[in-house]
Structure 1
Amino acid sequence: MKRVILLVIDALTAPLLFQEMDNGRYPHFELLRQAGVVREQCLSIFPSITHAALSSIATGKYPAEHGVVGSHWFDMENEKIVYFSGSLGMMLQVGVGNFFREFLLELNNDHLKALTIFQQLERAGYTTACINFPLYRGDVPHEVNMPLLLKWLPGLPASTTVIGPKILLLGDLLANPEDVDVEATYTGLVHWFGFTDQNSRDLVLQLAARDEFPDFTLAYFPDNDDLAHRHGPAYSHQQLGHLDEMLGKLFATYGGLNSFLEQFMLVITGDHSQSATSEDNQQEKIELVEVLSDCRLAKEGHPWQDGDEIMPCPNLRSAQLYFRKMDQAWIRGICNELLDDERVDQLIYRADLFDEGNGYVVETTNGRLQFWRASGEEAIAADHYGNTWAWQGDLAVVDGQVQDDCITFPDYPNAFERLVGALDCHTSGHLWITAKIGHEFVVPGVSPYPGGGSHASLHRLDSEPPLFVAGAPESVIIPDHPRITDVLGLCRAGLLANNPD
Structure 2
Amino acid sequence: MLKYFGVLLVIGVLVVAIISFQKTKAVPNEKDLLQVKSTSGDKTKKVILIVVDSLMATAIDKGIMQKELPTFQYLIKHGQYYKDLVSSFPTMSVTIDSSLLTGTYPDGHHIPGLTWYSAKDTKLINYGTGPMEVIKLGVNPVLEDALIHLNGKHLNPEQTTIYDDLAKEGKKSGSINGLIYRGPVKHTLSVPLWMDASTSLPQSLEVKGPDLLALGSFSDPLTEIEKPDGLTHRMGINNQYSLLTAEYLIKNNKLPDFLYIYLPDLDKKLHKHGPNEQNGIKATDQQLQSLLQSFGSLEEALNQAIIVIVGDSGMSKVLPADDNPVIELSSLLKDYQILRQEEGVAGDTEIVLAVNETMAYIYSLKSDKLKDIASNIRTDQRIDIISWKEGEWINVIGDEIAEVLRYKMNGNLTDPYGQKWTVEQAPDVLDLSINSEDQTIRYGKYPDVLRRLYGALHSHSGEFLVVTAKPGYELADKNSPSHKGGGSHGAFGHAESLVPLIISGTDAKPEHLRMVDLKAYLMKLVTKQQPNIEKGR
TM > 0.5 fold call: yes
- 2:116 aligned counterpart, secondary structure: strand
Alpha carbons of structure 1 residues 79 and 396: separation in structure 2 relative to 1, 3 Å: same
Match of 2:175 among 125, 130, 138: 130
Which residue number in structure 2 is paired with residue 469 of structure 1?
503
Corresponding residue for residue 388 of structure 2 = 349
Q: Which amino acid aligns with 1:396?
A: D
CA 1:183/1:116 → structure 2, altered by over 3 Å: closer, same or farther?
farther
- Code of the residue aligned with 1:262 in structure 2: it is N
The one-letter amino acid of 1:174's match is S
Aligned residues of 1:346 and 1:362 also touching (Cα < 8 A): yes
In 2, distance between residues paired with 1:306 and 1:107? 28
Q: Partners of 1:438 and 1:132 in 2: how far apart? A: 31
**Percent identical:** 28
Matched, 1:498 2:526: no
Q: State the one-letter code of the partner of 2:520.
A: G
| Residue 454 of structure 1 pairs with residue 488 of structure 2 | yes
Q: Deviations over 1:373-411 (max 9, x none)?
A: 224xxx1x3112110112111111111123554322221
Report the equivalent of 1:371. 407
Question: Does residue 2 in structure 1 map to residue 45 in structure 2?
Answer: yes
For 1:206, which of 233, 248, 265 is the aligned residue?
248
The structure-2 alpha-carbon separation of the partners of 1:421 and 1:112, relative to structure 1 and needing over 3 Å to count, comes to: same
Match of 2:287 in 1: 246
Is 1:193 the equivalent of 2:232?
Answer: no
Do 1:317 and 1:455's aligned partners in 2 also have CA atoms closer than 8 Å?
A: yes
Give runs of aligned pairs for residues 39-438 of structure 1, distance below 5 A. 39-113=82-156, 114-176=159-221, 183=225, 185-186=227-228, 189-191=231-233, 193-235=235-277, 237-280=278-321, 283-327=324-368, 330-352=369-391, 358-365=392-399, 366=401, 367-375=403-411, 379=412, 381-403=413-435, 404-427=438-461, 430-438=464-472
SS of residue matched to 2:421: strand
| Number of residues of Structure 1 aligned to a counterpart in Structure 2 | 482
Aligned-residue CA RMSD (Å): 1.9
Q: Distance in 1 between matches of 2:427 and 2:375?
A: 20
- Note closer, same or farther for the CA distance 1:80–1:188 as it changes in structure 2 (3 Å cut): farther
Cα deviation for residue 418 of structure 1 reads: 0.7
Residue 421 of structure 2 aligns to which amino acid in structure 1? W
What is the letter of the counterpart of residue 486 of structure 1? D
Counterpart residue type for residue 48 of structure 1: T
Q: What is the distance in 1 between the residues matched to 2:375 and 2:422? A: 26
Q: CA deviation at 1:225?
A: 1.4
- Compare 60-69 and 484-493 and name the one that shifted more: 484-493
Structure 2, unpaired ranges of 5+: 1-43, 532-537
Would the aligned equivalents of 1:182 and 1:203 in 2 still touch at CA under 8 Å? no
Comparing 459-468 and 20-29, the one that deviates more: 20-29
> Secondary structure of the equivalent of 2:208?
strand
Please tell me whether the aligned partners of residues 47 and 456 of structure 1 are also in contact (alpha carbons under 8 angstroms): yes
Hey, what's the Cα distance between the residues in 2 that align with 1:175 and 1:201? 13
Deviation digits for residues 156-208 of structure 1 (CA, Å, limit 9, x no counterpart): 2222222221111110011125xxx9647246523261101121122222222
Contact 1:26 1:244 (8 Å CA) reproduced: yes
Q: Is the 8 A contact 2:128 2:146 kept in 1?
A: no
1:128, 1:214 within 8 Å by CA — same for their partners in 2?
A: yes
Change in Cα spacing, 1:386 to 1:301, as seen in structure 2 (3 Å) is: farther
Conserved? CA contact 1:320–1:430, under 8 Å: yes
CA distance in 2, matches of 1:374, 1:483: 20
Checking the alignment, whether the CA contact within 8 Å between 1:205 and 1:246 is kept in structure 2 is no
Question: Would the aligned equivalents of 2:510 and 2:518 in 1 still touch at CA under 8 Å?
Answer: no
Does the CA-based 8 Å contact 2:169-2:527 persist in structure 1?
Answer: no
Q: Say which is worse superposed, 37-46 or 199-208, in terms of deviation.
A: 199-208
Q: Point out 4+ residue stretches in structure 1 off by more than 6 angstroms.
A: none
What CA distance in whole angstroms lies between the structure 2 residues aligned with 1:253 and 1:45? 32
Distance 1:37 1:495, change over 3 A: same
Identify if the C-alpha distance between structure 1 residues 26 and 289 changes in structure 2 by more than 3 Å, giving closer, same or farther.
Answer: same
| Mapped pair 1:489 → 2:520 | yes
Question: 2:408 is paired with a residue of what secondary structure?
Answer: strand
Whether contact under 8 Å (1:345, 1:435) holds in the other structure is yes
Q: Secondary structure at the match of 1:37?
A: strand
**Cα distance between partner residues in 1 of 2:327 and 2:513:** 32
Does the 8 Å contact 1:63/1:425 carry over to 2? yes
The equivalent residue for 2:14 is none
Deviation at 1:246, TM superposition (A): 2.5
Cα distance between partner residues in 1 of 2:54 and 2:463 = 24
Q: Distance in 2 between matches of 1:9 and 1:420?
A: 26
Shift of the 123–298 alpha-carbon distance from structure 1 to 2, 3 Å rule, reads: same
Q: Match for 1:407: what amino acid?
A: I
> 2: distance between equivalents of 1:134 and 1:124?
23
Taking the aligned partners of 1:154 and 1:28, their CA distance within structure 2 comes to 42
Paired with 1:192 and 1:73, the residues of 2 have a C-alpha distance of 30
8 Å contact kept, 1:144–1:174 = yes
Amino acid at match of 1:168: L
Shift of 1:66: 0.4
Taking the aligned partners of 2:75 and 2:460, their CA distance within structure 1 comes to 40
Q: In structure 1, how many angstroms separate the alpha carbons of the residues matched to 2:128 and 2:463?
A: 18
The answer as to whether partners of 1:131 and 1:219 remain within 8 angstroms in 2 is yes
Aligned-pair CA distance for 1:305: 2.3
CA contact (8 A) 2:474 2:482 kept: yes
1:490–1:428 CA distance, 2 compared to 1 (3 A): farther
